[in-house]
Chains A and B, each alone.
Chain A
Amino acid sequence: MGYEWDFGIVLRDFDVLLLGLVNTLKITILALLFGVPLGLGAALLRLSSNPAVRIPVGILIEFFRSTPPIVQLFWFFFALPLLTGIEIDPFRASVLTFSIQSSAFFAEVFRGGIVSIERGQWEAAKAIGMARNQTLRRIILPQAVKRMIPAFLERVIELMKTTTLVATVSYADLLYQANNIAQSTYRPLEVFTIAALMYFAILFPISMTVRRLERHLARTGETTAH
């Protein structure tokens, strides 16, 4: 029994899918815009020498890393309004959830990058009289960021894929639009194939970039003492 593929019906609604893709990218980019600086801040607090700062921030990071993002999304969308009385639309709930959720992961990427820098770099900076924040900004982060890029891009890929969950709170992302078209055209195979290809078209180049960078970094292996 052969299935007759018909992409024509689906391609007629391609602009609807494109709108969905734009919305997916909107959530992803906004989550990055808020999540990356928030993650850096959280990483620095988690590296604080003061346990009263370090421990609560650590617990918060681990909480968001160890709970399913869909539960977090439902919590911000359904529970937060009940608690605060502030209505929140699907778009805001999605940006809020994925900013915080991704910041927890970015915090660990930043922390990993920072602690991977040899103690000698901190000491050399300290020995010429540099303060901790100067050392961090001028010596440690420029080196750490370079090492973090592959892990960082890996998180970006994960983040964009995880944003498909926003369809569950009726935000019109790519998956939500695809689902709608599938139901109205009875052509789920074609619709979801094209949706998958659209995700792939964005994420595959990023994934390839990660590979290339990893190879490059492994080759140059940066350290001052050989």
Chain B
Amino acid sequence: MTEVLRIENLHKSFGANHVLKGIDLVVEKGQAVVLIGASGSGKSTLLRCVNFLETPSDGRVWLDGTLVGHQSNGAMDYRESDLIPIRSHVGMVFQHFNLFPHMTARQNVMEGPRTVLRLSKAECIERGEKYLRKVGLAEKMDAYPSHLSGGQQQRVAIARALAMEPRLMLFDEATSALDPELVGEVLQTMKDLADEGMTMLIVTHELGFAYSVSDKILFLHQGLIHEQGTPDEILVRPSQTRTREFLRGHATFRLPDAEF
């Protein structure tokens, strides 16, 4: 198997606040890896260090086997000009969608291919339509974000990331800001991607979703990977007390086996 992402001894501090305290992680091609943990455990920060929206304080990151950044005196030096190609190969989906409100769905999706990849206008339009169709929004191409539901906006955001044809997709609590009845359509889109073999690193609170799509689950606690394993090992038979406490908190109230 080929490694898409390798992280070694990753640290991140914000001033005196030591958020990540030495993370090691490998994601292989085609894998869907899910990060779970309480808020403040460092999940989102870890994700944001992968596409360098945050600059790691220490540690190394490899994408497709290539070390990101330059080494100088033992520390890593990250230049904006090195990070732009990295970001164009790593897609990210945000909790609050962050669509460009002055552009239609199609223009949102075309923006990266046009501005960053500098594809021809015809190719950009083709990509825009291809990926909006893929997320089931063929009929909403000319709609502005303000005229779309939250679920539709998030699917446009997924299409916008996919249009760069990334090697790795990052999902940062992609359904946390959605009304409950809109969560399903976004999770389904993500599951379809996983089934097609997209390499994904996902932060989510949807444990049922995590169980059904992931190849590997990592439980983060206080800036460290506390426990990791298959969905069954982590979500069904967790071995660590902290993991159990976390999962118990999520399963306080449950429906009996309902028929929908």
**Chain-B contact segment, one of A22-30, A57-65, A135-143:** A135-143
Q: Which residues of B contact A129 (CB under 8 A)?
A: 84-85, 87-88, 112, 116, 164
16 A–B pairs (Cβ distance < 8 Å), ordered by A = A118-B98, A124-B94, A127-B87, A127-B91, A127-B161, A128-B91, A128-B160, A129-B85, A129-B164, A130-B112, A130-B115, A131-B84, A142-B102, A225-B153, A225-B177, A226-B150
Q: Which residues of A contact B112 (CB under 8 A)?
A: 128-130
Listed in ascending order, the chain A residues whose CB lies under 8 Å from chain B are 118, 120-121, 123-132, 134, 138-139, 142-143, 146, 220, 222-226
Asked if B134 lies at the interface with its beta carbon under 8 angstroms from chain A, I say no
- Tally chain B residues at the interface, Cβ within 8 Å: 31
Contact of B98 among A146, A220, A224, A226 (CB under 8 A): A224
0/1 per residue, B96-127, Cβ < 8 Å to A?
Answer: 11111110000000011001100000000000
Question: Would you call A224 and B100 a contact (CB within 8 A)?
Answer: yes
Query: How far apart are the CA atoms of A223 and B157 in the complex, in Å?
Result: 15
Nearest chain B CB to A199's CB is how many angstroms away? 35
Q: Which residues of B contact A124 (CB under 8 A)?
A: 94, 98-100, 157, 160
Query: How far apart are the CA atoms of A162 and B252 in the complex, in Å?
Result: 68
Question: Would you call B116 and A130 a contact (CB within 8 A)?
Answer: yes
Asked if B143 lies at the interface with its beta carbon under 8 angstroms from chain A, I say no
Given contacts A139-B100, A224-B153, contact A128 B164 (CB under 8 A): yes
In the complex, residue of chain B having the shortest beta-carbon distance to the beta carbon of A134: B115
Query: How far apart are the CA atoms of A142 and B177 in the complex, in Å?
Result: 26
0/1 per residue, B139-177, Cβ < 8 Å to A?
Answer: 000000110001001000100110010000000000001
Q: Which residues of B contact A138 (CB under 8 A)?
A: 111, 115
Query: How far apart are the CA atoms of A220 and B53 in the complex, in Å?
Result: 31
Question: Would you call B94 and A126 a contact (CB within 8 A)?
Answer: no
Contact of A127 among B53, B100, B146 (CB under 8 A): B53
Query: How far apart are the CA atoms of A143 and B145 in the complex, in Å?
Result: 14
Question: Would you call B80 and A225 a contact (CB within 8 A)?
Answer: no
Asked if B243 lies at the interface with its beta carbon under 8 angstroms from chain A, I say no
Question: Would you call A222 and B53 a contact (CB within 8 A)?
Answer: no
Question: Would you call B102 and A143 a contact (CB within 8 A)?
Answer: yes
Asked if B51 lies at the interface with its beta carbon under 8 angstroms from chain A, I say yes
Asked if B5 lies at the interface with its beta carbon under 8 angstroms from chain A, I say no
Query: How far apart are the CA atoms of A224 and B112 in the complex, in Å?
Result: 18
Question: Would you call A120 and B98 a contact (CB within 8 A)?
Answer: yes
Question: Would you call B87 and A126 a contact (CB within 8 A)?
Answer: yes
Question: Would you call A127 and B84 a contact (CB within 8 A)?
Answer: no
Interface centre among A129, A146, A223, A225 (most CB of B within 10 A): A129
Nearest chain A CB to B200's CB is how many angstroms away? 15
Query: How far apart are the CA atoms of A130 and B110 in the complex, in Å?
Result: 13
Query: How far apart are the CA atoms of A123 and B194 in the complex, in Å?
Result: 24
Query: How far apart are the CA atoms of A61 and B115 in the complex, in Å?
Result: 33
In the complex, residue of chain B having the shortest beta-carbon distance to the beta carbon of A123: B53
Query: How far apart are the CA atoms of A142 and B88 in the complex, in Å?
Result: 23
Asked if B46 lies at the interface with its beta carbon under 8 angstroms from chain A, I say no
In the complex, residue of chain B having the shortest beta-carbon distance to the beta carbon of A146: B102
Query: How far apart are the CA atoms of A124 and B161 in the complex, in Å?
Result: 9
In the complex, residue of chain B having the shortest beta-carbon distance to the beta carbon of A127: B92
